[in-house]
Chain A
Amino acid sequence: SRIAIRRPGTDSDKNARPLSLSGHVGFDSLPHQLVNKSTCQGFCFNILCIGETGIGKSTLMDTLFNTNFENFESSHFEPKVKLRAQTYDLQESNVRLKLTIVNTVGFGDQMNKQESYQHVVDYIDTQFESYLQEELKIKRSLHNYHDSRIHACLYFIAPSGHSLKSLDLVTMKKLDSKVNIIPVIAKADTISKSELHKFKIKIMSELVSNGVQIYQFPTDDETVSKINTAMNGILPFAVVGSSEEVKIGNKMVKARQYPWGVVQVENENHCDFVKLREMLICVNMEDLREQTHTRHYELYRRCKLEEMGFTDTNPESKPVSLQETYEAKRHEFLGDLQRREEEMRQMFVQRVKEKETELKEAERELQGKFEQLKRLHSEEKSKLDEKRRSLEDEINTFSKKKAATELLQGQSFNTNANLKKDKDRKK
């Protein structure tokens, strides 16, 4: 049977006909179903804190999440910038959050800070890469995958009161297309209110003039656009962190106690901590996660795949599937491999031949020498033989002569003896 597919209006939302319902259907519970499902699964949130050693990153995290993450002070003598990631399971009412905090160690401590940002960039890319790998697997489990991609990057600006450091600008510029950057002014209790105002303006104008794209709180949803727009104007947040509590009135509040007064962390007149917490967690956590996935990760994925040579359309502008490209590439690679293998084999064969000829040469030489020696030897031998023969001849001749002489001698003796006898008889 043939399929006749008539699809008026499934290609885009615009073509779907709007329809009015005559009664309560009940799918208004969908958002609740969705939320319930997510609550069961739990959420994942990853924060990266970049800042110089001792600027207050760990303390701020402690204050923000109202816990005491096990932190230890880092030394100022790290040869290279490192990143330390720690994962925690937090729970508030019925929401479970898997929070990963990544801190830079030794940022800004080196004499030569040229490579400082590279480790951070590499770390972020590594997380994207492992997600990409999982996504490209044949048998994948994105459902259970522990998402380690950085959702928010808090960049801690030192409270100099003047302007951004060049390290800050360079680092933020390298990171702005990879992660949502939220700049904060650390240890803001060292700056007076008026100085702070000027400082903030200076920072923002420097960021703009250098083209650094920091994270903007989204203003398209009417529920939150007002507060987000207001907060966008207060960036960067001037924060103070503290895990110590001081008694104010009859309450214990998080604060820093100085001889001249108490800086209350959660007092909005004192610092922007509450605003940061509000924006980062209560209002925009989901948007941060979404931006990371749909913007930063997609950009990484696109660049990575294009770098590997994949395209969506081939030179004839016909759509090419990823599979085809991948297979074509693999085919090419294998062909390459085969060719190289062939080359190596040929080279090997040639070498063997050469060696063979060499050896044959040597053999021939040896053979020649051997023949020569043999000839010499036989010559010598024949000479010797001759000599021996002549010697033997001589010996023979001599012994003959000797025998003859002896015979003669004997005869002559006998003759003499006979003569003597005769003589005697005669007498």
Chain B
Amino acid sequence: MSEVAVPEMMMPPPAMPAAFQVEKPVPGPGMGDFSYVGIDAILEQMRRKAMKQGFELNIMVVGQSGLGKSTLMNTLFKSKVSRKSVQATSQEKIPKTIDIKSVSHDIEEKGVRMKLTVIDTPGFGDQINNENCWQPIMKFINAQYEQYLQEEININRKKRIPDSRVHCCIYFIPPTGHCLRPLDVEFMRRLSKVVNIVPVIAKADTLTLEERDFFKQKIREELRANGIDVYPQKEFDEDAEDRMINDKIREMIPFAVVGSDQEYQVNGRRLLGRKTKWGTIEVENIAHCEFAYLRDLLIRTHMENIKDITSSIHYEVYRVRRLNENNTAIAHANGTGQILS
């Protein structure tokens, strides 16, 4: 497969540095040649350590069946990370329960190794009665936090605690063009408190640009009205620069995406796209859909930040709650009924 020529521009101006380059350590102001200490060599050391250790990323995809979740994952990671759900030929089997399927892959790019885990949730929103559909997913996410917590409080700890916590949950909104459905609101409201949610408009090639903008605006309003904080959350912006960058992103979410793992010839280049009778939709063309923005956000610029927020905020919240309720439970069990700290 040939390398796809993709415009390297990431976010709407002002753009993030397009290429991350290693800065050769330069003696700071006031320091001559002979007085170079070498403190900034630690950046290189960290980089080396990171390359050696490799990275872990756990993404969960949630949405009704048929919205293109698996295809999007495959497009994002340019490989078959998810197997598309195979439908039985005679009847469509609607699963009676929500399954949670977790599949891991080791991928490598330019020496950087990553263990990618894609957590699929087939059956979500497919039943007739979808009340509490968020429960098994919430339970799964908390189970991962629990597992990490248990490892962390061991006496003999592993050198590197395997991180299975869900870093990011991509929620697929069907392209109705109107507004969010109660299922969407309910799910996102509950889950945004425990995990980073990135909502996307699935199969966005059914919306014209105007419909898309209207839909996005409607969604943003509804999210605001319901107090749903999706990634990037306003309260976690670290400084003015961060806020500026994230504000621009917040004005664009939810991203309207189209996924495809098939290549077509367009203008002499082979591009990922969907071929229709009225034209070919280029997945990575920002004029056609916002897949490139999603990819840049998730992978190229904010991945570390997403993981950071998961570990230092969501996980800590879980930990505090868990340790507190443990204390109460055991205090009650001891018959004291008093919370002794």
Contacts and interface: CB of A to CB of B under 8 A. Distances in A.
| Interaction A to B | yes
A19 B41 contact: no
A111 interface: no
B208 interface: no
Given A1-B97, A3-B140, A5-B100, A284 B45 contact: yes
Interface in B313-340: 316, 319-320, 323-324, 326-327, 330, 334, 336, 340
B77 interface: yes
A33 interface: yes
B190 interface: no
A221 interface: yes
A10 B164 contact: yes
B216 to A, nearest CB: 24
Among B38, B49, B135, the most chain A Cβ lie within 10 Å of the Cβ of B38
A316 interface: no
A92 B78 contact: no
Interface stretch (B152-160, B171-179, B226-234): B152-160
A278 B25 CA distance: 14
A31 interface: yes
A153 B36 CA distance: 22
Contacts of B135: 1
A30 B304 contact: yes
A277 B303 contact: no
Contacts of A404: none
A3 B155 contact: no
Interface stretch (B60-68, B103-111, B181-189, B249-257): B103-111
Given A32-B20, A283-B45, A334-B334, A27 B78 contact: no
Among A19, A31, A224, the most chain B Cβ lie within 10 Å of the Cβ of A31
Contact of B42 (A13, A285, A331): A285
A322 B80 CA distance: 41
Contacts of A15: 104
B323 A323 contact: yes
B102 A138 contact: no
Contacts of A259: none
B113 to A, nearest CB: 9
A93 B30 CA distance: 11
B304 A34 contact: yes
B97 A4 contact: yes
Contacts of A344: none
Nearest to A37: B304
B92 interface: no
B39 A92 contact: yes
Given A35-B46, A334-B336, A321 B150 contact: yes
Contact of B139 (A3, A94, A305, A312): A3
B43 interface: yes
B272 to A, nearest CB: 8
A312 B156 contact: yes
A143 interface: yes
B128 to A, nearest CB: 13
Nearest to B341: A138
B174 to A, nearest CB: 21
Q: Is the interface of B mostly helix, strand, loop or mixed?
A: mixed
Nearest to A322: B153
B39 A90 contact: yes
A327 B57 CA distance: 35
B48 A223 contact: yes
B6 interface: yes
Given A3-B140, A221-B48, A37 B112 contact: no
A315 interface: no
A278 B38 contact: yes
Interface residues of A, number: 89
B94 interface: no
A285 B302 CA distance: 27
Given A31-B112, A143-B312, A321-B150, A24 B103 contact: no
A286 B45 contact: yes
B101 interface: yes
Interface residues of B, number: 97
Contacts of B301: 29, 33
Contact of B4 (A12, A24, A283, A321): A24
Interface in B53-98: 55, 57, 76-81, 96-98
Given A24-B3, A40-B238, A277-B37, A91 B320 contact: no
Nearest to A286: B45
Interface in B1-52: 1, 3-4, 6, 20, 23, 25-28, 31, 34-43, 45-52
Interface string A331-357: 100100000000000000000000000
A421 B312 CA distance: 152
Nearest to B327: A327
A29 to B, nearest CB: 5
A18 B139 CA distance: 29
Interface in B279-305: 295-296, 299-305
A150 to B, nearest CB: 17
B30 to A, nearest CB: 10
Given A92-B39, A93-B26, A21 B155 contact: no
Contacts of B47: 31-32, 34-35
Among A33, A64, A253, A334, the most chain B Cβ lie within 10 Å of the Cβ of A33
A140 interface: yes
A57 to B, nearest CB: 18
A4 B238 contact: no
Given A3-B140, A28-B112, A286-B46, A92 B40 contact: yes
Contacts of A249: none
Contacts of B111: 28
A310 interface: yes
B299 A27 contact: yes
Among B47, B96, B110, B153, the most chain A Cβ lie within 10 Å of the Cβ of B153
A60 B164 CA distance: 46
A312 B154 CA distance: 6
Given A2-B136, A221-B48, A93 B296 contact: no
Given A5-B101, A26-B300, 19 more contacts: A1-B123, A3-B99, A18-B105, A18-B108, A24-B78, A27-B107, A28-B112, A29-B299, A33-B305, A34-B46, A93-B25, A95-B39, A138-B324, A143-B312, A252-B34, A286-B45, A312-B156, A323-B330, A331-B334
6 contacts: A10-B117, A15-B104, A66-B37, A90-B39, A92-B40, A322-B154
Interface of A: 1-13, 15-40, 43, 64-66, 90-95, 97, 138-140, 142-143, 221, 223-224, 251-254, 266, 277-278, 281-287, 290, 294, 298, 301-302, 305-306, 310-312, 321-323, 327, 330-331, 334
- Which 8 pairs from chain A and chain B are nearest by CB? A32-B20, A286-B45, A33-B304, A282-B38, A16-B104, A22-B1, A282-B41, A322-B153
